[in-house]
A and B are shown apart, each in its own frame.
Chain A
Amino acid sequence: MSRDLRMDGVLRPPEITFTFAGQPISARQGETIAMALWVAGQKALRNSSKDGAPRGVLCNMGICYECLVRIEGAPVRACMVLATEGLNVEPGGKS
């Protein structure tokens, strides 16, 4: 596995854990779902509805809706929702 993408020497709040497609993902408080998944190496967040190709973060600021995931069935932008302890996140789909 590659090195941690979180920059060294930066003071961060404590670790929390949520799940993506049932797998535990560790995050730091204050990170978005998209950021935590990116650091965990999970870049594909959904599959395109037409050709099934993987898609992930593009704009990282709530504009493009490429990073859609599902929480309790509802589509949300992974880049605009904070990761919280015990949250269950599923891969998304537009539509």
Chain B
Amino acid sequence: MSGARVLEAQVGIVGAGPGGMAAALHLARAGITVVLLDEGFRAGGQIYRQLPEGYDAGHRISEPPSHRAGNHLLDAVARERIRIVHGATVWNARPGQIYYEQNNESWLLACEQIVLAPGAYDRCVPFPGWTLPGVITAGAAQVMVRGFAVAPGQRALVCGTGPLLLPTVTALASAGVKVVAALEAAPRSAMWAALRGVIGNGARMREALFYARSLLRRGIRLQWGASVFAADGDGRVQSALIGKLDQQGAPRPETARRIEVDVICAGFGLVPAIELGLLLSCAARYDAPRGGHCLVVDEQQRTSVDSVYAVGEIVGIGGAEVAMAEGRVAGAAIAARLTSVSFDPRLALHARSERRAADAMLRAFQLRPGLFSICKPDTVVCRCEDVTSSQAAAAGELYGRTTRGIKMGCRAGMGPCQARICGLNLHDIFCDGVEPDLPVAQVPVKPVRTATMIDVPRR
């Protein structure tokens, strides 16, 4: 039956992106046994996503200067022979135990300490036509280019908000896609606010300069205060309606114009993937600029649960530099706990300064409430359960204008994605003025086979 499908390590890390890898490296170098669990096929996470084995794209795919740090980290992790389990879908966890499915088999990673570094996913904002095949997230487009050397289309619209639009545009352009329009929903003043926030952070300033140059060189202009209004097409995206936004971020219909595109890449920021933290009963709080609900940690990346640490996006969106810095902190804190080395507080100071720069940038790109009026009454808001905006609104009237009330009334947020895509929208569109409900994490946090949950390995 369950046999020996048990791995043991002193530290179990969920996520092989910059945060998880940095923590793993620090621990391995301190002589501590580590296992990294990752759902992808190769290490790097989404930000340092690698091409599959056997691929070589030379320098054809645009890489910002910050990716050099990622490549160093990937090399170092490989050199240390750190064990990474790929294709692992973690579906349950409690202190000391991480349960995952791999190749349809049920596995247990038994460990003394846990580091959560699961990363983030794209924030979506619903607009008419966004369920048409061909509307993808900005992250999805980057996965196609950086992860498979595939162009998402021939003519693209890039839209949404935040610093991730720039790497999306440059990735598409380097893949030979014609970027017909690049629309940033934030007003131009956000650019100055973001730049003020990163003054003094050399790496982030170099990054901004790299993107400014590469857009200029390709003749692509980022339009501020503009957005997609709708996607259209027969069974797939063939055109998009775009236009300017007003002071509140609401669409100005008189500015609308139609462009012919075969792919729409929309990214309205990122959302921290906190489900595992909630399942482990870690304290969380709502922080809109950081992307939604985030785990609470102390200066050593400890959560409220003893033996559970959290780094990177799960603590609030911050990017790869923050994740790496916090990963090192968690690694050092755990090493201090398990061995005789002492914790170097300078690591925590560095992580805090990276976090400050990221926070300043994110504050500039907060979604303005008017933007949600691009979502019309018959627009689907919950894609899993096919719930429209008017149905969700009606449910809110009947059962209370909270995400829980809406769920109860119309099943929005109860499908396989477990409200990862619609949860924040249900709040931001229908529950004005109420603090968002803490999402409920249920076992399994991701759908797995029933057999996986029945045939659970035991130590």
Q: How far is the CB of A32 from chain B (nearest CB, A)?
A: 8
Asked if A54 contacts B154 (CB within 8 A), the reply is no
Given A10-B60, A35-B148, A54-B235, the answer on whether A43 and B386 have CB atoms closer than 8 Å is no
**Which residues from chain A contact B139 at a C-beta distance below 8 Å?**
59-61
| Cα of A32 to Cα of B416 in the assembled complex, Å | 20
**Which residues from chain B contact A30 at a C-beta distance below 8 Å?**
41, 51-55, 148
Q: Is B131 among interface residues, defined by CB-CB distance under 8 A?
A: yes
**Which residues from chain A contact B135 at a C-beta distance below 8 Å?**
58
Given A5-B153, A39-B150, A94-B415, the answer on whether A57 and B52 have CB atoms closer than 8 Å is no
Q: How far is the CB of A63 from chain B (nearest CB, A)?
A: 4
In B108-157, the 8 Å CB interface with A consists of 121-122, 124, 131-137, 139-141, 143-145, 148-154
The residue from A8, A57, A65 contacting B136, defined by CB atoms under 8 A apart: A57
Q: Is B96 among interface residues, defined by CB-CB distance under 8 A?
A: no
Q: How far is the CB of A60 from chain B (nearest CB, A)?
A: 3
Asked if A54 contacts B143 (CB within 8 A), the reply is no
Identify which of A3, A10, A29 gathers the most chain B CB atoms within 10 Å of its CB.
A10
Q: Is B73 among interface residues, defined by CB-CB distance under 8 A?
A: no
Q: How far is the CB of A54 from chain B (nearest CB, A)?
A: 5
| Cα of A51 to Cα of B380 in the assembled complex, Å | 11
Asked if A80 contacts B150 (CB within 8 A), the reply is no
Asked if B151 contacts A5 (CB within 8 A), the reply is yes
The residue from B55, B60, B140 contacting A60, defined by CB atoms under 8 A apart: B140
Cβ contacts A48-71/B at 8 Å (1 or 0 each): 111101111111111111101000
Q: How far is the CB of A16 from chain B (nearest CB, A)?
A: 12
Q: How far is the CB of A88 from chain B (nearest CB, A)?
A: 17
Asked if A9 contacts B420 (CB within 8 A), the reply is no
Instruction: Name the residue on A nearest B53 (C-beta).
Output: A30
Sorting the interface of chain A by its residue count into under 10, 10 to 19, 20 to 34 or 35 or more gives 35 or more
Q: How far is the CB of A59 from chain B (nearest CB, A)?
A: 5
The residue from A7, A8, A31, A63 contacting B52, defined by CB atoms under 8 A apart: A31
Asked if A53 contacts B131 (CB within 8 A), the reply is yes
Q: Is B98 among interface residues, defined by CB-CB distance under 8 A?
A: no
Q: Is B426 among interface residues, defined by CB-CB distance under 8 A?
A: no
Asked if B421 contacts A58 (CB within 8 A), the reply is yes
| Cα of A64 to Cα of B273 in the assembled complex, Å | 12
Majority SS of interface residues in chain A?
loop
**Which residues from chain A contact B140 at a C-beta distance below 8 Å?**
57-61
Q: Is B425 among interface residues, defined by CB-CB distance under 8 A?
A: no
Given A5-B152, A10-B60, A74-B449, the answer on whether A56 and B55 have CB atoms closer than 8 Å is no
Given A9-B58, A11-B56, A59-B122, the answer on whether A43 and B151 have CB atoms closer than 8 Å is no
Asked if B150 contacts A5 (CB within 8 A), the reply is yes
| Cα of A32 to Cα of B139 in the assembled complex, Å | 16
Q: How far is the CB of A95 from chain B (nearest CB, A)?
A: 9
| Cα of A74 to Cα of B452 in the assembled complex, Å | 14
| Cα of A49 to Cα of B152 in the assembled complex, Å | 26
Asked if A7 contacts B383 (CB within 8 A), the reply is no
**Which residues from chain A contact B41 at a C-beta distance below 8 Å?**
30, 82
Cβ contacts A10-36/B at 8 Å (1 or 0 each): 111100000000000000011110010
**Which residues from chain B contact A94 at a C-beta distance below 8 Å?**
384, 415-416
Given A59-B139, A62-B39, the answer on whether A7 and B175 have CB atoms closer than 8 Å is yes
Instruction: Name the residue on A nearest B140 (C-beta).
Output: A60
**Which residues from chain A contact B420 at a C-beta distance below 8 Å?**
63-64
Asked if B421 contacts A64 (CB within 8 A), the reply is yes
In B32-74, the 8 Å CB interface with A consists of 39, 41, 46, 51-58, 60-61
Q: Is B369 among interface residues, defined by CB-CB distance under 8 A?
A: no
The residue from B136, B151, B417 contacting A63, defined by CB atoms under 8 A apart: B417
Q: How far is the CB of B445 from chain A (nearest CB, A)?
A: 11
**Which residues from chain A contact B124 at a C-beta distance below 8 Å?**
58
Asked if B386 contacts A51 (CB within 8 A), the reply is yes
| Cα of A45 to Cα of B425 in the assembled complex, Å | 25
Asked if B121 contacts A44 (CB within 8 A), the reply is no
| Cα of A51 to Cα of B235 in the assembled complex, Å | 13
10 A-B pairs besides A6-B150, A58-B421 with CB distance below 8 A are: A7-B151, A13-B52, A31-B52, A49-B386, A56-B134, A60-B144, A61-B139, A68-B416, A82-B41, A94-B384
> Closest 3 CB pairs between A and B?
A30-B52, A56-B133, A60-B140
Q: Can you identify 23 A-B contacts, CB atoms within 8 angstroms?
A: A2-B154, A5-B153, A7-B57, A7-B61, A7-B150, A8-B176, A12-B149, A13-B54, A32-B148, A38-B152, A43-B133, A48-B131, A54-B132, A56-B134, A61-B121, A62-B39, A63-B121, A63-B417, A64-B417, A64-B420, A65-B417, A65-B447, A94-B415
